[in-house]
Amino acid sequence: MVEAARWAPSSSNLQPWCFLFSYKNDPAFSAIFSAMVSFNQLWVKTAPVIGLALGITHDPKGNPNNSYLYDLGQAVAMLSIQAISEGLYVHQIGGFDRDAVATQLNIPLTCSVVTAFTVGYRGNPEVLHPNLLKLELSPRRRKPLDEFVFDGSFGNKASFL
């Protein structure tokens, strides 16, 4: 998974990312878990691993890197797809207190805590809290393509759709 992330493309090949992993029952896992909103704690508690996706906000010359978020997102996408091909699953998480995590895990100011993610095997949904079970079993939804794939001019449904 991290090898897949390593090969993600990035602006000027700056690779503006770091990943910090924590394992269940370790202090780092507890620190990240405690910083999560209670909704996320309901299901994250069963995960064996929580990772943090960190973005390096500036280039080596000290200038802001305007594409660090885009690049980090691509690296996480690669990591997630690789996870699935290894029989694992990644669930990304934005609902947590990033400042608390940064302080407790000694994350330098050069890095922005962007997202957390769990890594694990898909479990039996029946063990989920009832509020989560409904979500888990509801159909996955996405916008239709004609809402966001255009040609010619903005808003014009692409002719190949």
Residue with tokens 């947590």: 96
- Residues 95-134, mask of contacts with ligand FMN (x by CB under 6 A): x-------------------x-------------------
**What is the closest distance, in whole angstroms, from the C-beta atom of residue 98 to ligand FMN in the complex?**
12
Q: Which long-range contacts (CB under 8 A, 24 or more apart) does 64-68 make?
A: 65/11, 65/14, 65/16, 66/11, 67/10, 67/11, 67/16, 68/14, 68/16, 68/17, 68/112
Q: Which amino acid does the sequence have at 26?
A: D
Q: Report the residue number, 94 or 125, with the smaller CB distance to ligand FMN.
A: 94
Q: Report the residue number, 74 or 92, with the smaller CB distance to ligand FMN.
A: 92
Residues 93, 101, 102, 113: which binds ligand FMN (CB under 6 A)?
A: 93
Q: Report the residue number, 22 or 40, with the smaller CB distance to ligand FMN.
A: 40
In the window 20-79, what residues touch ligand FMN (CB under 6 A)? 40
Q: Which of 100, 38, 105, 113 is nearest to 72 (CA)?
A: 113
